[in-house]
Amino acid sequence: MTDWCSRAAAGETLGAAQAHALARAAASSESAYRELLAASRERRDRRLAAYPADSAPSAAAAAPSAAAAAPSPVAAEPSAGQPKYHGILTFSPKVFLPLTNLCRNRCDYCSFRRSWGQKGAETFPPEVTSGWLQRGAEQGCLEALFCLGDTPETEYPAYAALLAQWGFASTVDYLAYAGERALERGLLPHTNAGILSRADMARLRQTNVSLGLMLENVSPRLTERGGPHFRAPDKHPRVRLHMLREAGALKIPFTTGILLGIGETLSEQVDSLLSIRALHEQHGHIQEVIIQNFRARPRIPMHQAPEPEDHAIARALALARLILPLEVSLQAPPNLNPGITQLLIDAGLNDFGGISPVTPDYINPLHPWPELTALRERCEAAGFGLAPRLPVYDRYLEESGWVDERLAPHVQSAQQRLSGWFTAHAGEPGGARRPTAPLVTPDASASVSSSVTLTMARPASSGAPLEGAISAPPSAMPNPLETPC
């Protein structure tokens, strides 16, 4: 155990048999568990040192002269009286837009999806999407996350008719339109729309800097009768692995991950991580892996299912850090685990994923995003700073062919805004000082009034859309790039 952990921490690749043995040992022995976490921390710190640009995204690319004159935020020595940091942990300031919660799959653990006509079914009209994108830009977001159900037009003809009414032939049509609107406002799109064809991904590549799809688990057992994916044909691992391979062949920077606590075994967790590693070794496209834990909610089939224990989440994070290649970023959602931030960091996490100052986590609405100042303080207590990043990692921007050339001006603009954050915080790895000006300056002609009321299309049981009001004054929302973090 000690030898395997030490070698993995030093950068060696664990074989499948070794990975399974480490998992079993850590599950049965407290000392082995702690040894696993220690090795994961060492490997995480090696990653922070080896890929400093991921912790200070694009500062050098956007302002090479300034970057040459100033040390990397990861390596920077703090000024007098400031604590010394091991490195910088990151998050992506985003606006989260679920264009529709209609979905053809029925996962037993999901509270997000709805059927057409069901209470709570919602689809954003184009003007609402544009309004929320503008709000995100005004609040300093850099990422526009489009997350929605799987191909609802194949299940609900009324939804397809609604898209046609708006001038879209498909959900992907709408996503391409929404991506263009995001780019116009200085936001970089990242889309997770479930299973997409190769042609669909190739099209979205023109407006997205990265795409995502959770593998969740590689075991087909979970799709059998009584399993959480029995009523979800798009959750079969064969289908999901195929899309992940196609994304790699298309050279799309990609986010994936596993879901804990849905009935999988420890061995199946390890197999899933090994499958992700194999995909990355073939194509090099996995930019980050999410370790996401199931949270029980009312009115879902799994409402009484036990949630993963804290040590099981930490163990999965540590195993992922030792199994995955060093360059792959590792994250866990902080809003699902607000009480164990220190443990997540101890287990090898280097990124907290997307955090929004504008929109809730529509997938997990009972779990609000963390307050950035509090999250920064937790990171500092663990010896780390906290800083924003782009929704695509720098190594994919440095090598040609990964991001569509038409996106270059938009990426450069986002790089410059992000570089401004680091310039304002030079010598302060944890972000102890506020920038003197907003880092996102929206087009005044496209500004959304704080008093405007936006509406969302809600399909009634008859199939006719209803109008329901939602509003939130942008002025009341903090700018994540202006907040000391």
Both structure tokens of 222: 């979970």
Question: What is the percent of the chain where pLDDT is above 70?
Answer: 80
pLDDT digits (tens, 9 = 90+) for 210-267: 999 999 999 999 999 999 999 999 999 999 999 999 999 999 999 999 999 999 999 9
- Going from the C-alpha of 437 to that of each of 434, 468, 483, the distances in angstroms are 9, 36, 11
CA dist., res. 381 & res. 111, Å (int): 34
Q: What is the pLDDT of residues 371-424, one digit of tens each?
A: 889 999 999 999 999 999 999 999 999 999 999 999 999 999 999 988 876 665
Mean pLDDT of the region 65-94: 55
Beta strands in 215-265 (DSSP E): 254-260
Cβ atoms of 334 and 118 closer than 8 Å: no
Q: In the prediction, which pLDDT does 422 show? A: 62
Name the amino acid, one letter, at 423.
T
Which of 79-83, 89-93, 324-328 has the least mean pLDDT?
79-83
99 DSSP 8-state letter = S
Q: Which helix (H) or strand (E) holds 243?
A: helix 237-249
Average predicted confidence (pLDDT) for the chain? 84
d(C-alpha 206, C-alpha 253), whole Å: 13
Mean pLDDT of 196-210: 99
Let me know if 78 is exposed, middle or buried by CB neighbors in 10 A (0-12, 13-18, 19+): middle
Question: Among 29-33, 100-104, 361-365, which stretch is predicted with the lowest mean pLDDT?
Answer: 361-365
DSSP per residue over 347-384, as a string?
TT--EEEEE-SSS--SSSTTSPPPPHHHHHHHHHHTTE
Phi, then psi, of 373 in degrees rounded to 5:
-65, -40
Tell me how far CA of residue 236 lies from CA of 188, 233, 285, 392, 480, in angstroms.
30, 6, 21, 27, 37
Burial class (CB in 10 A: 0-12, 13-18, 19+), 6: middle
Confidence of residue 364 (pLDDT cuts 50, 70, 90): confident
Q: Summarize pLDDT for 130-173 with one digit per residue, the tens.
A: 999 999 999 989 999 999 999 999 999 999 999 999 999 999 99
Q: Find the mean pLDDT for residues 59-75.
A: 34
